[in-house]
Amino acid sequence: MDIHSGTEEATQLFNDLRKAGYLVDAYSHEFLKSQDNDWEGGTQLEFVQAKDKALGTDCINHMLIIHLSDNCEIDTASKLAKIYPKMNWIADNTVHQPDFLFFNLATQKILCAGLGRKNRIFVYDAVDHKDMGGNSSVMNDVDKENFKEFAKLDYAGFVDEFLETLEKLGDSNYFLFHEWDGDEDSSDFLDAEDGITEAMNFINKFFPKADANELDPEMG
């Protein structure tokens, strides 16, 4: 499994996005080596390789993550809609576009997530445009099973942490711009600022160009 599989158009788009900094092969040796070196007694790469060996699986190169950004010079949504016609809804400006797409090359499923009205997180099956609820902690039983299947090779927990991080970012943004009373010494204000910082620290490990203001739909 690697990003060069699939149609010529998909391969070209993925390569262009990777070079531009808007696509990450999250389970590549290169990316895993770049992450935290202290991961349950070893490196992150060693951890997932040990999981593969113990369970007889192959998680390397199985997960691509794309950041849909207005700052990207590539019209990613339109190009994806042409390659995957069932995903044409992501190019529809009348709906909230997702911020991130997760391509699971092992299950051939695509998950998308973003912040919508009132900075609330949304999670969809990108092909069926099926709402899967907020995140894995609030999904119904059927969606929990679907998410579990989608993430079964995600030994580092990237997708689940992305969803939790987006939810934290949305809650913090909404508080600062809609509920904060202006007291800079309040614990709620400091918690919200810390929430945004922590969220962006995680997201920027994958996408250094990602910006908190752009991810906030209320700022658009």
Domain boundaries in the chain?
Answer: 8-155
Indicate the residue type of 14: F
Task: Measure Cα distances from 50 to 60, 86, 152, 164 in Å.
Answer: 12, 37, 15, 26
Number of Cβ within a 10 Å radius of residue 186: 12
- Token pair in block for residue 19: 């070079």
pLDDT bin (cut points 50, 70, 90) of residue 47 is confident
Q: What is the pTM of this model?
A: 0.89
Radius of gyration of the chain measured on its C-alpha atoms: 18
DSSP characters over 88-157: GGGG-TTSPPPSEEEEETTTTEEEEEEE-GGG-EEEEETTTTEE--SSTTT--HHHHHHHHHHTTT-TT-
Q: How far apart are CA 199 and CA 216, in angstroms?
A: 12
- Tell me the β-bridge partners of 102: 65, 111
157, burial (CB in 10 Å: exposed 0-12, middle 13-18, buried 19+): exposed
pLDDT bin (cut points 50, 70, 90) of residue 90 is confident
167-213 pLDDT, tens digit per residue, is 999 999 888 877 777 777 778 888 888 999 999 999 999 999 999 98
Residue pair 121/73 in contact (Cβ under 8 Å)? The answer is: no
- Kindly report which listed range (17-26, 36-45, 56-65, 111-120) carries the lowest average pLDDT score: 36-45
